[in-house]
Amino acid sequence: MGKVLIIGAGGVATVAAHKVCQNRDVFTDVMIASRTERKCKELAKVLNDKYGTDVRTAQVDADSVDQLVELLGAYKPDLVMNLALPYQDLTIMEACLQTGCNYLDTANYEPKDEAHFEYSWQWAYRERFEQAGLCAILGCGFDPGVTSIFTAYAAKHHFDEIQYLDIVDCNAGNHHKAFATNFNPEINIREITQKGLYWEDGKYIETEPMEIHKPLNYPNIGPRESYLLHHEEIESLVINYPTIRRARFWMTFGQQYLTYLDVIQNIGMSRIDEVEYKAPKADGTGDEVVKIVPLQFLKAVLPNPQDLGENYDGETSIGCRIRGLRGGEEHTYYVYNNCSHQAAYEETGMQGVSYTTGVPAMIGAMMFLKGLWNKPGVHNVEEFDPDPFMQQLATQGLPWHEMHDCDLEL
Ligand code: NDP
């Protein structure tokens, strides 16, 4: 039915590639391309051994529009799944426009030299995608992604008016490392060290990082301290659901994680500007001054998120807690998924955070290839019909559960 190019060969791309190979009736032709082709080839071998799928591979620097145009022009995919890093969103969108390919990603663009993300950079491509008759699907991981689709599903089936939205993201897993991040450490640390931000009464309210927190109960897990963060799906959801009076995003962190994060910040290791460092020359003839970015150096010494799966136990629990009106009366609704790190590892070799991102990315691609989510322009996932996506979510490894008129604790 369709030809996909997956860009990236990290944790999320690995999970998405497994799921693509499990759905060969939809994904008839698959290529994985990334900066380091060796990783693509290793993954292709695993996929071939497990599913008998013949996956092609290629090397590409996705920061280069020219290289991307050459690859896309030669392979001619129906859809490019950008599972590299948010830095590459714009170059990949540009190359899609130049070669007539459709586009999907899981995280909104951020410039390398500024820890700041917002949709405006990608929304600026709307007209060009519309005119080209191409579709770009933005933010199709779990959060953003499933959380936005949960909200669309609630609006379609359970509310006349959504008024209060709280997205709650709990990772109650234990990887038995002193400190590690669950996805790309550079992107992760940039995200959570930012100031908090939430939407209330028509405007954004900024908080200090981790300033607002409270214990919330998560199904099958219990109470966990949850911190208000700025998260990208809030930006599109308050536009697409203008009745929302307040929208917030909460994520759990353990005390040990926060202590390490404090130290990392206080000693300057989360800096994203260049510093000079005296390093031994490769030929052994003394030292030379090189420029390094401390956060990128830190990434190189932290555990690789892809290697956490084997000893990861416990589960994630991510969902939407919603209050609003139906038939003139106030109702509450909680829709969520719990995902076991071990089950994710057994199926794909990756931990639950990569799994909960890679599975929705595959389902979004499936929605596009089946013609269920295909309209020209640049769209956030809540702009599409949530029903076929939710049906797939239930059967592709991320079953979801609902509670009606319960205490949301918020
Ligand atoms: P990883 O660091 O594990 O993988 C990133 C991959 O991208 C690596 O294979 C890397 O190659 C490749 N890459 C990086 N730069 C380039 C480049 N210039 N050209 C080609 N390939 C490149 O990250 P994750 O898999 O953990 O995360 C992937 C994406 O998913 C990120 O954008 C992240 O923000 C997003 N995400 C979204 C979530 C959601 O719920 N929406 C949750 C978690 C993550 P190399 O191996 O050579 O470094």
Closest by CA position to 336, among listed 155, 146, 165:
146
Distance 12 CA to ligand 1 centre (A): 7
Protein residue with least CA distance to atom 44, ligand 1: 183
Mean pLDDT of all residues belonging to the chain: 96
pLDDT over 90 (residue 4): yes
Question: Mean pLDDT over residues 333-355, rounded?
Answer: 97
Question: Mean pLDDT over residues 183-212, rounded?
Answer: 93
pLDDT over 90 (residue 252): yes
3-state helix vs strand vs coil in the chain, percent to 5: 40, 30, 30
The preferred substitution site among 36, 39, 106, 143 for testing ligand 1, maximizing ligand atoms within 8 Å of CB, is 106
Q: How many CA atoms lie within 13 A of 225 on its CB side?
A: 10
The C-alpha angle 248, 353, 191, rounded to 5 degrees, equals 50
Ligand 1 contact, 306 CB (< 6 A): yes
What does the alpha-carbon distance between residue 53 and residue 37 come to, in Å, rounded to a whole number?
18
Lowest mean pLDDT among 3-7, 115-119, 144-148, 202-206: 115-119
State the pLDDT confidence band at 191, using cuts at 50, 70 and 90. confident
Segment 388-402, tens digit of pLDDT: 999 999 999 999 999
pLDDT over 90 (residue 179): yes
Quick one: DSSP state of residue 405?
A: S
Distance 203 CA to ligand 1 centre (A): 32
- Identify the pLDDT of residue 286: 92
Residue 26 or residue 282, greater confidence = 26
- Identify the pLDDT of residue 145: 98
State the pLDDT confidence band at 201, using cuts at 50, 70 and 90. very high
pLDDT over 90 (residue 113): no
- Identify the pLDDT of residue 160: 98
Question: Mean pLDDT over residues 319-330, rounded?
Answer: 98
Protein residue with least CA distance to atom 31, ligand 1: 85
Q: How many CA atoms lie within 13 A of 71 on its CB side?
A: 28
- Identify the pLDDT of residue 116: 85
Tell me which amino acid residue 166 is: D
What does the alpha-carbon distance between residue 267 and residue 26 come to, in Å, rounded to a whole number?
49
- Identify the pLDDT of residue 72: 98
Ligand 1 contact, 390 CB (< 6 A): no
- Identify the pLDDT of residue 1: 76
pLDDT over 80 (residue 39): yes
Ligand 1 contact, 161 CB (< 6 A): no
Protein residue with least CA distance to atom 34, ligand 1: 107
- Identify the pLDDT of residue 114: 85
Tell me which amino acid residue 410 is: L
pLDDT over 80 (residue 97): yes
- Identify the pLDDT of residue 115: 82
Protein residue with least CA distance to atom 11, ligand 1: 35
What does the alpha-carbon distance between residue 243 and residue 245 come to, in Å, rounded to a whole number?
6
**For residue 63, which atom of ligand 1 is closest to its CA?**
18
Ligand 1 contact, 184 CB (< 6 A): yes
Protein residue with least CA distance to atom 46, ligand 1: 36
- Identify the pLDDT of residue 190: 87
- Identify the pLDDT of residue 185: 87
Among residues of the chain, what percentage have pLDDT more than 70?
100
Which residue do the tokens 């995919």 mark?
Answer: 77
**For residue 11, which atom of ligand 1 is closest to its CA?**
25
Protein residue with least CA distance to atom 41, ligand 1: 141
Segment 345-365, tens digit of pLDDT: 999 999 999 999 999 999 999
Buried/exposed 113-150: b ≥16 CB within 10 Å, e otherwise: eebebebeebbebeebbeebebbbbbbbbbbbbbbbbb
Segment 152-162, tens digit of pLDDT: 999 999 999 99
Closest by CA position to 27, among listed 399, 400, 396, 397:
396
Distance 106 CA to ligand 1 centre (A): 10
- Identify the pLDDT of residue 16: 98
Question: Mean pLDDT over residues 27-32, rounded?
Answer: 98
pLDDT over 80 (residue 278): yes
Ligand 1 contact, 106 CB (< 6 A): yes
Ligand 1 contact, 317 CB (< 6 A): no
Distance 175 CA to ligand 1 centre (A): 20
